[in-house]
Amino acid sequence: MRETADLRVLVVDAQPVMRDGLTANLTAEGIAVVAETGDPQVAVEAAARHRPGVVLLDLSLLQGHDYALIARLRERSGGARILVLSSLEDDAIVDEALRAGAERHLRKDVFREELIAAVRGEAPPRRARLSAREIEVLLLIARGCGDAEIGSILGVTESAVKTHVASILRKTGSRGRTQAAIRALKQGDIRF
């Protein structure tokens, strides 16, 4: 694990809003973002110029499956850890990126805490476990039910449902019930 003050990160993502979000999250944690770009060639030049310790690389930039970009970034940066980001579900592409030298894959809907831990080289934080009742509530949220309907289905008060929802949001680090439901579906915590 490296000290936060020593971390220098290069953000390489095709989407400007994603670059902005990654940069904002990293700098809020005291991690220096030395450059950001959406262009693979500029990324290689920035890696040589700034010598980051970590490169966050959007997998979609591996045009034509140019996995050699990972090696070029590592070489030109002096051995940076390459963390690849994607919204893809294609395990073959992720596996190939890891074989090409990427240290770790993160989905673009990653929790902030997990992103920061990965950049710091730490183990991912453990998510608080949802209770069986919270999972039931989350499944009903995912099905589009409101608090009153959830309460009726589960035989509890609307106030109890609101308490469960607040606990779910806290435990999942979600900003809202829809985000919590989407994350739970994507991560396999709930299924229809």
**Domain final residue, candidates 120, 154, 169:** 120
The reply to whether 161 and 140 lie within a common domain is: yes
Judge whether residue 178 has pLDDT over 70.
yes
Q: pLDDT tens, 140-164?
A: 999 999 999 999 999 999 999 999 9
pLDDT at residue 2, as a whole number: 45
Judge whether residue 47 has pLDDT over 70.
yes
Q: What is the mean pLDDT of residues 25-46?
A: 96
**Domain final residue, candidates 91, 120, 149:** 120
The first and second tokens of residue 152, run together, are: 């009726």
State whether the Cα torsion 167-170-176-180 is positive or negative. negative
pTM passes above 0.85: no
Judge whether residue 17 has pLDDT over 90.
yes
Write down the residue that tokens 């030109």 correspond to: 76
Number of domains making up the chain: 2
In a domain, 138, yes or no: yes
In a domain, 87, yes or no: yes
Helices (H), 6-156: 16-28, 40-50, 68-77, 91-99, 112-120, 132-142, 147-154
